[in-house]
Structures are given as C-alpha cells and as structure tokens.
C-alpha cells in the first residue's frame, strides 16, 4: 500500500470528519472508498494524453532544435 499525504482546508477536513462520523467510518475509509469506486472511464480520461490539444498539434514554429524532445538531457545537462 502506498502512503499519501495531502493538505486540505480546515473547514473541508471538518466536513469530511462529520460525514465520516455520520456514516460510522473514518476519513481514511471514505477516501479509500472514493478512490476504489472511481469509474474506469474517468481514470482513462486522465491517462489518455492523445486527447490533449497540445498533443494533437501538427506544427509549431520554434527556434528549438528539431530533436529537443528526444535529446532533452543533452540540451539541459550537456549529456550525450
């Protein structure tokens, strides 16, 4: 299991605590259930970069080297 730490506004956390208490659960249980029950289509939308408008661009004018994306380390760090 991976550990995740997040920061939320105090009033949002209080709301989560109230909801969890009403349901007889912990805030952690609520979040686990929410993540577990995410619709698969929502997960695919996040991962599918091919739907991004930047990914779909066909051309872009730039003075950057043509192989910049392939050899980014070479240009950033001088590595071969």
- 49-64: per-residue pLDDT in tens? 777 777 777 776 778 8
**Global pTM?**
0.47
4-52 residue pLDDT tens:
899 999 999 999 999 999 999 999 999 999 988 877 765 565 667 777 7
2-15 residue pLDDT tens:
888 999 999 999 99
Tokens of 35: 């993540």
Compute how many other C-beta atoms are within 10 angstroms of the C-beta atom of residue 32.
13
Closest among 34, 33, 31, 36 to 5, alpha carbons compared? 31
């Amino acid at each position: 299991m991976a550990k995740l730490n997040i920061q939320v506004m105090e009033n949002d956390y209080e709301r989560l605590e109230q909801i969890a208490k009403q349901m007889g659960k912990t805030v952690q249980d609520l979040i686990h259930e929410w993540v577990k029950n995410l619709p698969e289509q929502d997960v695919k939308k996040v991962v599918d970069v091919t739907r991004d408008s930047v990914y779909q661009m066909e051309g872009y004018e730039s003075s950057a080297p043509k192989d910049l994306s392939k050899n980014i380390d070479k240009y950033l760090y001088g590595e071969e």
